[in-house]
Structure 1
């Protein structure tokens, strides 16, 4: 399954500095079992989102835990257009 994890940073310079340092140390990569499809960050650095793929909710939760002390996170299951088209082909009349 694919998930969009949206992140928001508070305008706290110490917290932001720690998040940047952690990102530089770790590359912001999720644990094994979660594939990072892509990451996009707003130009003003206030927020962004990761597109992740996994069938292991425990690993997804582990990744969220690694960052939830520094930013607000929201995780939403998502479908790409091809997957949505399959669903609509079956149910839309």
Structure 2
């Protein structure tokens, strides 16, 4: 399942976040596939798209950075996945 993960940190967390990112390369936990990640330039926030087979791995990711950032995760679908869901819904409505 894909998730949109968003994070935002306070200025006081910036140095610790930089050090952790530089040390770890920002690699996600083993069972999390990072599909893309974007950082807001000049701010301590960003967004990533990840794929996990279960939410335990997602929880690991959020706990790994949760001491430095406020984080949220929202289920996500591609255009193709959403199109299939909508098509099935339209078929049921007829």
Q: TM-score, normalised by structure 2?
A: 0.91
Task: For 2:62 and 2:44, locate their aligned partners in 1 and report how far apart those are by CA, in whole Å.
Answer: 18
Identify the residue that residue 48 of structure 1 maps to in structure 2: 46
Instruction: Tell me which structure has the larger Cα radius of gyration.
Output: 2
Consecutive unaligned residues in structure 2, runs of 5 or more:
none
The match for 2:21 among 17, 20, 23 is 23
Count of aligned positions = 91
Q: Identify the residue that residue 77 of structure 1 maps to in structure 2.
A: 75
Gaps of at least 5 residues in structure 1 are: none
Q: Does 1:63 align with 2:61?
A: yes
Indicate the RMSD between aligned Cα atoms, in angstroms.
Answer: 1.0
User: Normalising to structure 1: TM-score of the pair?
Assistant: 0.92
1:4 maps onto 2:13 in alignment: no
